[in-house]
């Protein structure tokens, strides 16, 4: 059984929500830290962009190894993350689109044997490729919700 229509559709389009959410905001607004000590809207976008290559690497390890174990991904500990944080929004969105295309191609190209391969998640245990894909999408959706909340704060008129 291939990936579900739900997973495929979200993989192909869920990330497009970012552009819709931030439409009309400039980089300065997206960098505004509305919750001290927390990420800005742009930091959340940078995190999503930075995580996609990590997810691709995990898929490759799942393909090549027998049930590899993965540590929890912590963006603030990822040496690549600061460069993503410094990138302009347009560059992050372009990178998201490009990497997402690669993710979609890789997953759509997997046969049933490939989709059944597993990797060990530190919290959720042994997940097959379908479950890793669902986790990836739900993680992204969490950040989309956060982004929605942050953008609404940024858009509020000054009091």
Model pLDDT, residue 3:
93
Residue 1 banded pLDDT, cuts 50, 70, 90: confident
Radius of gyration of the chain (CA): 17
Model pLDDT, residue 85:
98
CB 44 within 8 Å of CB 150: yes
Tens of pLDDT, residue by residue over 64-78, are 999 999 999 999 999
Residue 27 belongs to a domain? no
- In the Cβ-directed half-sphere of 88, how many Cα atoms lie within 13 Å? 5
Model pLDDT, residue 42:
98
Least Cα distance to 120 among 70, 73, 72 occurs for 70
CATH number of the domain that residue 85 is part of: 1.20.120.450
Residue 53 belongs to a domain? yes
Tens of pLDDT, residue by residue over 92-148, are 999 999 999 999 999 999 999 999 999 999 999 999 999 999 999 999 999 999 999
Residue 55 belongs to a domain? yes
Residue 97 belongs to a domain? yes
Residue 157 banded pLDDT, cuts 50, 70, 90: confident
The structural domain count of the chain equals: 1
CB 82 within 8 Å of CB 26: no
Residue 155 belongs to a domain? no
Residue 92 belongs to a domain? yes
Tens of pLDDT, residue by residue over 35-59, are 999 999 999 999 999 999 999 999 9
Domain that holds residue 67: 5-14+45-145
């Amino acid at each position: 059984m291939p990936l579900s229509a739900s997973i495929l559709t979200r993989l192909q389009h869920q990330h497009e929500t970012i552009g819709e959410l931030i439409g009309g905001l400039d980089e300065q607004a997206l960098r505004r830290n509305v919750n001290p000590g927390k990420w800005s809207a742009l930091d959340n976008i940078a995190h999503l962009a930075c995580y996609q290559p990590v997810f691709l690497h995990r898929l490759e390890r799942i393909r090549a190894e027998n049930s590899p174990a993965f540590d929890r991904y912590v963006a603030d500990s990822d040496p690549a993350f600061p460069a993503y944080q410094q990138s302009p929004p347009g560059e992050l969105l372009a990178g998201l689109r490009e990497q997402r295309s690669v993710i979609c191609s890789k997953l759509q190209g997997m046969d049933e044997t490939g989709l059944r391969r597993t990797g060990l998640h530190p919290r959720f245990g042994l997940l097959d490729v379908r479950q890793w894909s669902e986790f990836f999408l739900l993680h992204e959706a969490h950040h989309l919700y956060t982004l929605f909340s942050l953008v609404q704060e940024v858009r509020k008129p000054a009091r």
